[in-house]
Copies of this chain bind each other. A is one copy, B any other.
Amino acid sequence: MTASPAHDAASDAPSDAAGRVWRGMRVLVVERHDRRRAVTEATGLSFVRVKALRRIAAGPMSMRELAARLATDKPYTTLVVDDLERRGLIERTVHPTDRRQRMLAATPEGRRLARIARDILDDPPATLRDLPAADLAVLDRVITALVDADEPAR
């Protein structure tokens, strides 16, 4: 799996900047600004359903692909998709060339809810927005590079 974290932080380095940065990012994202509750309230959907909907709204895909992206198994994906379809947020159509596959696509209403979720999740904290322009520029460059660097396993 990951590198070699088996040793105590104290013995790691005189000053482990990477560790501090990572811990800080995690604290900000998953502790201070966990918006899951807000999103489920705003959309009336459980959070996995929101994740599924956002994936589908980002572009049509098959059940198989959605299951992979949600890191769940097929049967549970079927369950989630059933619910989204029942609510009129997505549509299932058969794949044009392979009739085993179902292509999933968001309806206008589905896209609307996905947008609501996105607005809540992607809204940067005020403290971040208020950063000096120079700092923000560096963050922008470095984080963007990071995201590009460790590609989604594809």
Interface residues of chain A, those whose CB is within 8 Å of chain B, are: 1-3, 5-6, 8-9, 17-32, 35, 37-38, 71, 115, 119-129, 131, 135-140, 142-144, 146-147, 149-150, 152
A84 and B33 CA atoms in complex are apart in Å by 27
Q: Would you give the shortest CB distance from A119 to chain B, in whole angstroms? A: 4
A-B contact pairs, 14 of them (CB 8 A): A2-B120, A18-B124, A20-B144, A22-B128, A24-B143, A24-B144, A25-B29, A25-B143, A28-B143, A126-B150, A131-B142, A135-B142, A138-B138, A138-B142
Q: Is the CB of A29 within 8 A of B29?
A: yes
Beyond the given A9-B122, A21-B139, A139-B139, could you list 5 further A-B residue pairs with CB under 8 A, ordered by the A residue number? A2-B123, A3-B123, A20-B140, A24-B143, A28-B150
Q: Are B18 and A131 in contact (CB under 8 A)?
A: yes
Chain B neighbourhood of A125, CB < 8 A: 22, 146, 150
